[in-house]
Amino acid sequence: MPQYPFLDAPLPLAIAHRGANSAAENSMAAFASVIELGYRYVETDARATADGVLLAFHDATLDRVTDRSGRISALPYATVSRARIAGTEPIPVLSDALGTWPDVRFNIDVKEASAIRPLIELLRRDGLIDRVCVTSFSDARLAAVRDALGPRLCTSLGPRETIRLRLASYRDPGTYRDTDAGVPPRAAGCAQVPARLGRVPLADARLVAAAHRRDLQVHVWTVNAETEMNRLLDLGVDGIMTDDAVLLRAVLEARGQWHG
């Protein structure tokens, strides 16, 4: 049984990236559509407004996906709340998304330092630690959340830890030590990695084996092609994040691995 309740589910995990809806990503409508499809894992992002309201939103600015412009961290929530994703959908407050679907587990990417404290407060206040996995492209942001919430919280490896795991994966398994990836025991539950760096596969048999020797799951993002989904599943990865929720479900069903 996995150490973390977040990971305690039949494998592989099917994870809907930003709600897996390219037109209205990270909206309540996007989340609802994949949950209705049977997904129980949703990936989203955390950013805070100037007055500390924590949102499920990826970009630093409103410009790309909404009908308004401006940097979220510089705007009050009263202004941001008037923006519409794809011209129709409001930006969700993260607590609303978590509260609307209490049986769904959320993978949360902390996008900037201003989101750290509101996220910590939300997870503590609403007793959500067992329902989330926190990740970040910043080692410092990830460390701050880990330090505040302790070993019950599931997190992914940070960027430096992932590099160390990649390097360790090339070593002879006979000389492999649990500390080779620089990850303290029980500090993380999974390695979340891109499928490739350019044309070079990052998620390969060596990486999967090295992670599994450390009792780390491997979740790969963002995978939208059937051939790549099958390649990764054949390697034994533990989860796939996708923008194409319909395709991933079909691939898993064909393999007898859909657990929605």
Q: pLDDT tens digit string along 190-207?
A: 999 999 888 888 999 999
- Distance (Å, whole) CA 38 – CA 249: 9
Task: Establish whether 58 is a catalytic residue.
Answer: yes
Longest dimension (CA), the chain: 58
Q: Give me the sign of the Cα torsion angle 255, 165, 112, 68.
A: negative
| pLDDT at residue 124 greater than cutoff 70 | yes
Q: Going from the N-terminus, what domains does the chain have, and what CATH number goes with each?
A: 5-254 (3.20.20.190)
Q: Give the pLDDT of residue 183.
A: 47
Mean pLDDT, residues 220-225: 97
| pLDDT at residue 176 greater than cutoff 70 | no
List Cβ neighbours of 110 (8 Å cut-off, separation of 6 or more).
Answer: 46, 116, 119, 134, 135, 136, 138, 141, 142, 145
- Distance (Å, whole) CA 80 – CA 52: 12
Do 43 and 241 form a contact (C-beta atoms < 8 A)? Answer: yes
Q: Give the pLDDT of residue 1.
A: 42
User: Could you read off the pLDDT of 32-90 as tens digits, one per residue?
Assistant: 999 999 999 999 999 999 999 999 999 999 999 999 999 999 999 999 999 999 999 99
- Distance (Å, whole) CA 253 – CA 257: 6
Task: Establish whether 212 is a catalytic residue.
Answer: no
Mean pLDDT, residues 92-104: 98
Confidence of residue 185 (pLDDT cuts 50, 70, 90): very low
The pTM assigned to this predicted structure is 0.94
